[in-house]
A and B are shown apart, each in its own frame.
Chain A
Amino acid sequence: MPIYETVFITRQDLGVAQVEQLTKDYSKILTDMGGKILKTEQWGLRTFAYIINKSKKGHYTLIESDCPAPAVIEMERLMRNNEDVVRYMSIKLDAPTTGPSAIIAKYDNDDRFETQNEVA
């Protein structure tokens, strides 16, 4: 099965618990359809580079999974129907990634982003 990386953005006024619940729901769809979750990451509340749907921030979540294509299509369909999901993108990867993604890694060793992380 191919490896997919899905990042979706949820509305800013959602609580952290709600975002995690959404992540669980989508992960469950992938596993129910025969997939395997390799990694999930909460990037927290990030400021957009430009305004989307009149909002300037959103919760970013990454799900990396090894699952059949129909599962991803189903998950994307549900994301499209969910108004709390502002944006989503799934990308097929050549190989599973190791370690946290660049966004998260940046927070750890860079002072400039530290304050932003606390807000999230």
Chain B
Amino acid sequence: MARPERNSAHSDRPERPEASADGADAGAKKSFFKRRKSCPFSGKDAQKIDWKDIRTLGRYVSERGKMMPSRITSVSQKKQRELAQAIKRSRYMALMPYVRVEMETTRGPRPDRFAERSFDRSDRGDRNNNSAAE
């Protein structure tokens, strides 16, 4: 999708850099100032969209885990549909969260989310020890 010019009339949602920049991540900010027009998944040797590639998919979700709109990420319509499907698959297999409640400082997937937490329930502790011993 070619991004509309900033001054062109965009009927329902006028695009302002300030409006989206505050809640969005660094990737969105970059696209605002650099005005990258091409879709990162289209083209000859573009990245493949893969639901297992959580590193890449992580760039297209917000801090909270919501998918980013393509008008911010400049993903083409066709690829945005594929991307949405991939994120949903990734979520179903618990590779990505449906919603990230705690606000984390680092971006991207956090496999160690539960590692530092202590659980009071003794059965959990035992289970962890067993799996570590194997």
Contact = CB atoms under 8 A, between A and B. Distances in A.
Interface of A: 7, 9, 12-13, 15-16, 45-50, 52, 56-58, 60, 87, 89, 91, 101-103, 106, 113, 115-116, 119
A106 B127 CA distance: 27
Contacts of B115: 47
Contacts of B53: 102-103
13 contacts: A13-B130, A46-B95, A46-B111, A48-B94, A49-B96, A58-B94, A87-B94, A89-B92, A91-B89, A101-B50, A103-B95, A106-B55, A113-B111
A26 to B, nearest CB: 16
A88 B48 CA distance: 23
Contact of A56 (B50, B91, B97, B114): B114
A15 B134 contact: yes
Interface in B99-134: 109, 111-115, 127, 130-132, 134
Interface of B: 50-56, 89, 91-98, 109, 111-115, 127, 130-132, 134
Given A47-B111, A102-B50, 17 more contacts: A13-B130, A45-B131, A47-B114, A49-B113, A50-B97, A60-B93, A87-B92, A87-B93, A89-B89, A89-B92, A91-B51, A102-B52, A102-B55, A103-B53, A103-B54, A106-B55, A119-B132
A115 B116 CA distance: 13
Contacts of B114: 47, 56-57
Determine the main DSSP class of B at the interface with A: loop
A100 to B, nearest CB: 10
A12 to B, nearest CB: 6
A115 to B, nearest CB: 8
B125 to A, nearest CB: 13
Contact of A101 (B52, B98, B112): B52
A58 B127 CA distance: 12
B98 to A, nearest CB: 6
